[in-house]
Structure 1
Amino acid sequence: MSEPLAVFDDLRTESEQLDLLVRDLEAEAWSTPTPAPRWTVAHQIAHLAWTDRAALLAMGDPDAFAGEVEKALAAPDSFVDDGAEAGAALEPAVLLAQWRDGRAELQKVLRSAAETRTKFPWYGPPMSAASMATGRLMETWAHGQDVADALGVVREPSDRLRHIARIGIRARDFAFAVQGLPAPDGGEFRVELLAPGGQLWTYGPEDAAQRVTGPALDFCLLVTQRAHRDDLAVRAEGADADRWLDIAQAFAGPPGQGRSPKGTRP
């Protein structure tokens, strides 16, 4: 299967795995706090449903989506939270149905656009259908991690992490830029990640002066800011690579709050 088609299937599977965590929850469990400040389980699912609708709008009506981007620029600190808050106020069954319907429709639209080279607008750089699916998979996995942590569930990592690792690596210079820092000199870093299945995923030149190594799961937790660097087995060689591990993000928008080290949490 080609990579573009594989990411669509992997996005669907990632969503289904998260669905399994929430589909049988009692109504009160949707109010369980997650590691994201002020966000409950309902907020996490509401955010995914909201972002799926935004993706559908971007792919179907770019002019209307431009209006949403203007709203985001006008309220960068509250735009995402406001969208999650509106969805979280719904009855859990209604919210769950909206998320399911939206992600199913997005699957159809993404697959129909797969044969074109069209770039669709987004909150960051324009995206192809495959790139849009990769971004949605990354968000689904990351917000699913918040839900799993809230519910005390340990998820089994899968090779779907390769999509998240790749987007995190490609976003290196963006992570520096949103911090107001210049991109590192000297080209790509070497990144070597131990995959869940035991194989080694490698990126960048083998002879690169700076490198990052560690488990793929830990790297993905790092670039999605779902765990603090101090709690992860990701290591850097080189000053710029070391700095990157402090600021890495795989998502568009301003720097996130990240997570505190486990030893400092209340």
Structure 2
Amino acid sequence: MSLVDSVVADLVAEGDALDDLVAGLKPAQWATPTPAAGWTVAHQIGHLLWTDRVSLIAITDDAGFQDALAEAWGDPDGYVDAAAEAEAARPPAQLLDDWRATRAKLATALVAVPDGTKLPWFGPPMSAASMASARLMETWAHGLDVADGLGVPAAQTDRVKNVAHLGVRTRDFAYMVNQIDAPAQPFRYELTAPSGELWTWGPDDAENVVRGPAFDFCELVTQRRHLDDLALEFAGDDATQWSRIAQCFAGPPGGGRAPLDDLKERR
């Protein structure tokens, strides 16, 4: 199985897992708030639908993607929320059917991209494998928001390795968007998979080391949990600094989430 095939298979499985979570919801439950301020379950699925749709356009319709790009830059600070709001206003059954059809088409299109092809995006062009990884990361992260909103535990699977790998690769990006010079030396990452396997990146003798559960690491780099709520260890000043700005998603620095104790008090 090629790298693209493998990542797309995980993307499909992650989408199916989230689908299982929302498929049985009553229409009123789609209005359930999630941890993302102002976003309901419908907003979360609507955002994934919109982004999957634009990803499909980037693969299949260059002129159409340029139109989508121009529209987004017409409101660079608000187009993500506006798109989620528009999709969330649709009847839940229609929204769900559209998301299912669009993500299926996207999976088929991704595995058909010729090797070496760079796909246009809002940032630098990316390979099909990179686009699939980005879609998986978003599906996982927004799925976690949905699970939190519904008050159910999120399933822990080794599919998070795709998210963890993206978190490792985007280390310097987090420094860049925060206008901080990235360290010259690489970090060592030692993460325990949900299955118990040890996943590692970086040199054995690195001065800065990140250790802990891979699931927690993915919550950190997607900014779905506050650092205080994660069982992660950071050895070295640079790794400690990075832990406060870690971000694997595109865009300006994220605001992160409040500690769980603070959220409980507010409720």
Per the shorter chain, which TM-score range? over 0.9
Residues 145-188 of structure 1 deviation map (CA, whole Å, 9 limit, x = unaligned): 000001111122111010000001101111111111111122x1
Quote the offset at 1:67 in angstroms: 3.5
Asked if structure 1 preserves the Cα contact closer than 8 Å seen for 2:188 and 2:204, the reply is: yes
Query: Using the alignment, how far apart are the partners of 1:182 and 1:201 within structure 2?
Result: 27
TM-score, with structure 2 as normaliser: 0.96
Asked if structure 1 preserves the Cα contact closer than 8 Å seen for 2:189 and 2:201, the reply is: yes
Query: Using the alignment, how far apart are the partners of 1:104 and 1:35 within structure 2?
Result: 27
Asked if structure 2 preserves the Cα contact closer than 8 Å seen for 1:123 and 1:253, the reply is: no
- Counterpart of 1:243, as a letter, is Q
Query: Using the alignment, how far apart are the partners of 1:251 and 1:4 within structure 2?
Result: 20
The runs of 4+ residues in structure 1 deviating greater than 4 Å are none
Query: Using the alignment, how far apart are the partners of 2:173 and 2:75 within structure 1?
Result: 21
Give the gaps of 5 or more residues in structure 1: none
Quote the offset at 1:58 in angstroms: 1.1
- Counterpart of 2:127, as a letter, is S
- Counterpart of 2:55, as a letter, is A
Residues 110-154 of structure 1 deviation map (CA, whole Å, 9 limit, x = unaligned): 0111x4210101122211111111110000000000000011111
- Counterpart of 2:135, as a letter, is R
- Alignment-derived partner of residue 262 in structure 1: 260
Aligned residues: 264
Query: Using the alignment, how far apart are the partners of 2:92 and 2:49 within structure 1?
Result: 12
Matched, 1:43 2:43: yes
State the Cα RMSD in Å. Answer: 1.2
Q: Secondary structure at the match of 2:117?
A: coil
Asked if structure 2 preserves the Cα contact closer than 8 Å seen for 1:62 and 1:120, the reply is: no
Quote the offset at 1:65 in angstroms: 1.9
Asked if structure 2 preserves the Cα contact closer than 8 Å seen for 1:224 and 1:250, the reply is: yes
Q: Secondary structure at the match of 2:215?
A: helix
TM-score, with structure 1 as normaliser: 0.96
Query: Using the alignment, how far apart are the partners of 2:247 and 2:73 within structure 1?
Result: 19
- Alignment-derived partner of residue 121 in structure 1: 120
Asked if structure 2 preserves the Cα contact closer than 8 Å seen for 1:32 and 1:40, the reply is: yes
Asked if structure 1 preserves the Cα contact closer than 8 Å seen for 2:4 and 2:111, the reply is: no
Quote the offset at 1:250 in angstroms: 1.1
- Alignment-derived partner of residue 28 in structure 1: 28
Asked if structure 1 preserves the Cα contact closer than 8 Å seen for 2:4 and 2:110, the reply is: no
Quote the offset at 1:70 in angstroms: 3.5
- Alignment-derived partner of residue 167 in structure 2: 168
Query: Using the alignment, how far apart are the partners of 1:84 and 1:251 within structure 2?
Result: 17
Asked if structure 2 preserves the Cα contact closer than 8 Å seen for 1:46 and 1:87, the reply is: yes
Query: Using the alignment, how far apart are the partners of 2:228 and 2:88 within structure 1?
Result: 32
- Alignment-derived partner of residue 146 in structure 1: 145
Q: Secondary structure at the match of 1:247?
A: coil
Query: Using the alignment, how far apart are the partners of 1:133 and 1:36 within structure 2?
Result: 23
Query: Using the alignment, how far apart are the partners of 1:154 and 1:247 within structure 2?
Result: 26
Q: Secondary structure at the match of 1:214?
A: strand
Q: Secondary structure at the match of 2:223?
A: coil
Q: Secondary structure at the match of 1:202?
A: strand
Query: Using the alignment, how far apart are the partners of 1:79 and 1:22 within structure 2?
Result: 25
- Alignment-derived partner of residue 221 in structure 1: 219
Query: Using the alignment, how far apart are the partners of 1:252 and 1:103 within structure 2?
Result: 20
- Counterpart of 1:107, as a letter, is A
Asked if structure 2 preserves the Cα contact closer than 8 Å seen for 1:57 and 1:65, the reply is: yes
Give the gaps of 5 or more residues in structure 2: none
Asked if structure 1 preserves the Cα contact closer than 8 Å seen for 2:191 and 2:214, the reply is: yes
Residues 228-257 of structure 1 deviation map (CA, whole Å, 9 limit, x = unaligned): 111001121111111111111111111222
